[in-house]
Structure 1
Amino acid sequence: MIRNVAGSVLALAGATAAVWSPFRAWYDGRHGRDYAIDELFTGITDDRSEVIGSILAPFLFAALLTLLGVLLRSRLLVALAGVVVLGFTVLWMVRVGQAEGGLTVGGDGAGLGDGVANALGGGILLLIGALVMSGRSRAPHRVDRPPRHTRPTLDGPSPQDPSTPEPPPAHPRAPSPYAATQTYDVPTGDPEQERRDPPPKS
């Protein structure tokens, strides 16, 4: 939470510095809003551009990305805003260096002005803010696992398994009251043998 707040403050400060930079002097006292956006791709001229079509346009787009990134806690959007600011600033420096034959820094308003410093600083603050932010906190992924059953052993079912029914108690078999107490000889089917050995009388 603290990292998101600190990163958001840095990102908003960087976006503010980037949007304010075109209203400051960029080179030889000429403000950044005087440079047309298409001059960054075709070449720098002395023509003054309208504010909406100047270098301010990509910086406003970067500020919009910053606001969305802060609201959504998206480090990617904030980092993308920083890349846009730094990319257009470096591209402007390359085009001006080609038109002027080189870049100079002077203390009397000549050469690079504080507007370029604001743009570079704003882009760096945006990247630092994206690194400081922790982003969205993800909820832990919970997996519902089925109950674990233990395998029955040779000695019987495990007492830890509540799903195994208990076996019925073993009862000893009562003796039958009709059990025979006297043995009889089974006739063999031979009449001669039966006459010789009559069955005993009960």
Structure 2
Amino acid sequence: MIRNAAGSLMALIGAIAAVWSTFRAWYDGRPGRDYRLEELFAGSGITDDGAAPFGSLLLPYLCAAVLALLAVVRRSRPLMAVAGVVVLGFAVLWMVRQGQAAGGLSVGVEGTGLGDGVANAFGAGALLLLAAAVMRGRPRRRRRELPRDTTAPEPREP
């Protein structure tokens, strides 16, 4: 019971951190909600165009948060792991595409380079995967066994 409570708490913190990360600076002071989702999959790569809130990185992170909440309610370790992989996968995909568009990634000071939103996304994904590992999950149903006769069988006469 303690493991499920601890895993649930970690999952809720991870889900909040994943959604919150899109409102933080990802690269050069630009928040994650300004990156269009289709830019991650298009050949043109990442551009300076803005995005609608539900057409940005916010959408997959909201979906991952909903998956994490469902996993907490259902006590499902696989569903929690999927939520963590979604968060980490989109963060890695964004880093690859941003690196291609910028010619490389840098970590700088004063708002240049990678921001704390990316760190929040990676931390949230890792926390969701850790929550999946910590959670005990649902108890398995036991098979109902027929009652056994514990008395010794009567000796047979020859």
TM-score, structure 1 as length reference:
0.73
Aligned residue identity for 1:124: A
Q: Which structure carries more relative contact order (alpha carbon 8 Å, separation 6+)?
A: 2
User: How far apart are residue 103 of structure 1 and its match?
Assistant: 0.3
**Unmatched tracts of structure 2, length 5 or more:** none
Shift >3 Å, 4+ stretches: 145-151
Q: Provide the residue aligned with 1:41 in structure 2.
A: 41
Q: Provide the residue aligned with 2:156 in structure 1.
A: 152
CA distance in 2, matches of 1:153, 1:145: 27
Pairing of 1:72-151 with structure 2 (within 5 A): 72-145=74-147, 147=149, 149-151=153-155
Q: Provide the residue aligned with 2:17 in structure 1.
A: 17
Structure number with greater Rg is: 1
Deviations 1:147-176 (A, max 9, x none): 47444133xxxxxxxxxxxxxxxxxxxxxx
Question: How many percent of aligned residue pairs carry the same amino acid?
Answer: 62
CA distance in 2, matches of 1:153, 1:86: 73
Please, what is the CA RMSD of the aligned residues? Answer: 1.3
**Unmatched tracts of structure 1, length 5 or more:** 155-202
User: How far apart are residue 120 of structure 1 and its match?
Assistant: 0.4
Q: Provide the residue aligned with 1:188 in structure 2.
A: none
User: How far apart are residue 86 of structure 1 and its match?
Assistant: 0.1
CA distance in 2, matches of 1:143, 1:68: 33
User: How far apart are residue 64 of structure 1 and its match?
Assistant: 0.5
Q: Provide the residue aligned with 1:8 in structure 2.
A: 8
Q: Give the SS at the match of 1:23.
A: coil
CA distance in 1, matches of 2:7, 2:49: 39
TM-score, structure 2 as length reference:
0.93
Q: Give the SS at the match of 2:55.
A: coil
Aligned length: 154
Q: Give the SS at the match of 1:47.
A: coil
Q: Give the SS at the match of 1:12.
A: helix
User: How far apart are residue 142 of structure 1 and its match?
Assistant: 2.3
CA distance in 1, matches of 2:155, 2:83: 60
Q: Give the SS at the match of 1:52.
A: helix
Deviations 1:91-120 (A, max 9, x none): 000000000000000121100000000000
